[in-house]
């Protein structure tokens, strides 16, 4: 009995902290983002979504930073903009949670990217709501990346435009060296959630996150299946940052909803967003201990 009781206390603390993250709220933020329609970089819909994210962040206790730049793409120069919320801490260290808000330019297809671009946008907005409720030990940066998607074929020079730009900027201004952990999320709204072990990621950080998932009773969503995915964590991994990508890369029958007009809100669930959000908040709590 006594042993059971001592085991129960830390677990209940974890649940209480993570419980502030609402999957229903994250899903509503996602729905709003998706309502702007296809959101490729430089589009009117992209600007409308930027305004929406900014207006939400103005209601939070955070500094709003913007990283605007011109990317060279197979379609010529395109104006892009990463949006960043900084929740100031006192330790000098930083934790980064990121995801992309752009959707892939798909001429002739009404691609709204509910999961691919929408879910990361909504999850980060809900994290902002929760994080603003109390002071932090570490700086927490929430980053909405622009230009994750390639305009043409994915290559070293097309795709992850926003994260490549911010990684260079943060390497130059010293921010990079303060980052103790970075977790990028992508396509984590799938109602049939299964996050793979992403092999380009930091394995030590990956193990910590899988352990947290187990502690919270979410093991079923964090798979043993592994695969290497290039995503917005890569520019940071290459510069030595302790970075992890959380991605569910099995979307619909035989992955058939990915980059198609079928990537719509009805494929998502509040529960999936809640699982990921609560795991991230528990990771932050442990990092700040």
Q: How far is the CB of 269 from Zn ion (least distance, A)?
A: 19
Point out which span in 49-57, 116-124, 153-161, 219-227 binds Zn ion (CB under 5 A): 116-124
116 binds Zn ion (CB under 5 A): yes
How far apart CA 88 and CA 275 sit, in angstroms, is 25
146 binds Zn ion (CB under 5 A): no
Site string for Zn ion, 67-106 (x = CB under 5 A): ----------------------------------------
Nearer to Zn ion, 116 or 139 (CB): 116
Nearer to Zn ion, 43 or 211 (CB): 43
Instruction: Number of residues interacting with Zn ion: please give it, by CB under 5 A.
Output: 1
198 binds Zn ion (CB under 5 A): no
Q: How far is the CB of 116 from Zn ion (least distance, A)?
A: 4
Nearer to Zn ion, 134 or 255 (CB): 255
Q: How far is the CB of 158 from Zn ion (least distance, A)?
A: 13
Residue nearest to Zn ion (CB): 116
Enumerate residues 6+ apart whose C-beta is below 8 A from 114. 30, 34, 189, 263, 264, 265, 267, 268
Residues of the shown chain interacting with Zn ion in the complex, contacts defined by CB under 5 A: 116
């Amino acid at each position: 009995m006594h042993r059971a009781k001592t085991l129960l206390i830390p677990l209940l603390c974890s649940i209480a902290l993570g419980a502030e993250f609402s999957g229903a709220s994250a899903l509503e933020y996602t729905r709003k983002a998706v309502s702007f329609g296809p959101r490729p970089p430089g589009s009117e819909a992209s600007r409308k979504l930027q305004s929406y994210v900014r207006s939400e962040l103005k209601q939070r206790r955070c500094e709003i930073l913007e990283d605007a730049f011109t990317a060279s793409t197979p379609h010529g120069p395109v104006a892009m903009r990463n949006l960043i919320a900084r929740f100031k801490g006192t330790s000098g260290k930083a934790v980064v949670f990121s995801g992309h808000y752009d959707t892939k330019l798909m001429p002739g297809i009404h691609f709204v990217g509910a999961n691919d671009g929408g879910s990361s946008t909504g999850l980060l907005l809900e994290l902002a709501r929760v994080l603003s409720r109390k002071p932090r030990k570490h700086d927490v940066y929430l980053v909405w990346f622009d230009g994750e998607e390639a305009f043409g074929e994915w290559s070293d020079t097309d795709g992850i435009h926003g994260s490549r730009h911010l990684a260079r900027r943060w390497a130059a201004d010293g921010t990079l060296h303060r980052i103790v952990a970075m977790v990028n999320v992508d396509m984590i709204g799938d109602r049939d959630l299964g996050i793979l072990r992403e092999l380009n990621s930091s394995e030590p950080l990956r193990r910590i996150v899988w352990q947290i998932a187990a502690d919270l009773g979410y093991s079923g969503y964090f798979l043993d299946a592994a695969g290497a995915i290039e995503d917005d964590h890569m520019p940071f991994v290459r510069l030595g940052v302790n970075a992890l990508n959380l991605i569910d890369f099995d979307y619909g029958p035989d992955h058939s909803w990915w980059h198609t007009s079928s990537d719509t809100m009805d494929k998502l669930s509040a529960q999936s967003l809640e699982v990921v959000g609560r795991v991230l908040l528990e990771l932050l709590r442990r990092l700040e201990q």
